[in-house]
A and B are shown apart, each in its own frame.
Chain A
Amino acid sequence: MAQAPSIAIEDLTVTYRTRHQSVTALNKVSFDIPARSFMTIVGPSGCGKTTLLKVLSGVLAPSGGQVKFDGRPIDRKALVGQVGYVFQRPLLLPWRTALDNVKLTLEITRKSMSPADRDAEARHWLEVAGLKGFEDRYPHELSGGMQQRVSISRALAFRPQVLLMDEPFAALDEITRETLQAELLKLWSKIETTVVFITHSIPEAVLLSEKITVMSARPARILEEIDVPFERPRTEALREHPQFVGIASHIRHLLRGSEPAAAH
Chain B
Amino acid sequence: MTFYQVLIFVAFFALWEIAVRALGIKPVILPAPSMIFEDIWRNRVLLLTNTWPTFLAISLGFLYAIACGAVIAVGIAFSRVVREVTYPFLVVAQVLPKIAFAPLFLIWFGFGLTPKIVIAALIAFFPIVINMAKGLTSVDAELLQYMDSLGATPREKFFKINLPWALPYIFAALKISITLAIVGAVVGEFVAAGEGLGYVINSANISLDTELMFAAILVLSVLGVLLFLVIVLLEYLAMRKSQSHMEGATATM
> Is A94 a contact partner of B150 (Cβ separation < 8 A)?
no
Interface assignment of A59: CB less than 8 Å from any CB of chain B: yes
Chain B residue nearest to A88 (CB atoms) is B142
Residues of A within 8 A of B243 (CB): 94, 138, 140
Q: Which residue of B lies closest to A109 (CB)?
A: B150
Interface residue SS majority, chain A: loop
Chain A residues closer than 8 Å to B5, beta-carbon distance: none
A59-B145, A108-B151, A140-B242 known; A93+B156 contact, CB < 8 A:
no
Kindly identify, within residues 133 to 189 of chain B, every residue whose CB is under 8 Å from any CB belonging to chain A: 140, 142-143, 145-152, 156, 160-161, 164-165, 167
Judge whether B26 is part of the interface by a CB distance below 8 angstroms.
no
Residues in A132-146 with C-beta less than 8 Å from chain B: 138, 140
B53 → chain A closest CB, angstroms? 38
B235 nearest CB across to chain A (Å): 13
Chain B nearest CB from A32 CB (Å) reads 22
- B239-253 CB mask vs A (1 if < 8 Å, else 0) is 101110100000000
* A91-B142, A95-B239 known; A80+B151 contact, CB < 8 A: yes
Q: Could you say which residues of chain B place their CB within 8 Å of the CB of A57?
A: 145-146, 149
Q: Are the CB atoms of B142 and A138 closer together than 8 Å?
A: no
**B239 and A108 contacting across the interface, CB-CB below 8 Å:** no
Q: How far does the alpha carbon of A130 sit from the alpha carbon of B98 in the complex, in Å?
A: 58
Interface class of chain B by DSSP: helix
Q: Are B143 and A91 in contact, CB atoms less than 8 angstroms apart?
A: yes
Which residues of the other chain, B, contact A94 by a CB distance below 8 angstroms?
Answer: 242-243, 245
Interface residue count on the B side (C-beta < 8 Å): 22
Interface size range on A against B: 20 to 34
Distance of B146 from chain A, by nearest CB (Å): 5
A104 within 8 A of B: yes
- Chain A, range 68-86, C-beta contacts under 8 Å to B: 79-81, 83, 85
B-contacting residues, A176-215, CB 8 Å: none
Instruction: Compute how far the CA of A91 lies from the CA of B147 in the bound complex, rounded to whole angstroms.
Output: 12
Tell me whether B241 and A108 are in contact (CB under 8 A): no
- Asked if A59 and B150 make an inter-chain contact with CB atoms under 8 angstroms apart, the answer reads no
Report the separation of the CA atoms of residues A109 and B146 in the bound assembly, to the nearest whole angstrom. 12
Cβ contact within 8 Å between B242 and A85: no
- Residue from B148, B151, B164 in contact with A95 in the complex, judged by beta carbons closer than 8 Å: B164
Q: Which residues of A contact B145 (CB under 8 A)?
A: 54, 57, 59
**Closest CB in chain B relative to A160 CB, distance in Å:** 9
Query: Which of B142, B164, B245 has the most A CB atoms < 10 Å from its CB?
Result: B142
Instruction: For the complex, give the distance between the alpha carbons of A94 and B156 in Å.
Output: 17
Please report the C-alpha to C-alpha distance between residue A81 and residue B148 in the assembled complex, in whole angstroms: 9
CB-CB under 8 A for A83 and B142, given A94-B242, A94-B245, A108-B156: no
Q: Knowing that A79-B149, A108-B147, A158-B150 touch, tell me 18 more A-B residue pairs with CB under 8 angstroms.
A: A59-B145, A59-B149, A80-B149, A80-B150, A81-B151, A83-B149, A83-B150, A85-B146, A91-B146, A93-B165, A94-B245, A95-B167, A95-B241, A107-B160, A108-B151, A109-B150, A138-B241, A140-B242
Across the A-B interface, give the 8 residue pairs with the lowest CB-CB distance, nearest first: A95-B242, A80-B151, A140-B243, A57-B149, A94-B242, A81-B151, A59-B145, A91-B143
Would you give 25 A-B contacts (Cβ < 8 Å), ordered by A? A54-B145, A57-B149, A58-B149, A59-B148, A59-B149, A79-B149, A81-B150, A83-B149, A85-B146, A85-B149, A87-B146, A91-B143, A94-B243, A95-B164, A95-B242, A105-B150, A107-B160, A108-B147, A108-B151, A109-B150, A109-B151, A138-B241, A138-B242, A138-B243, A158-B150
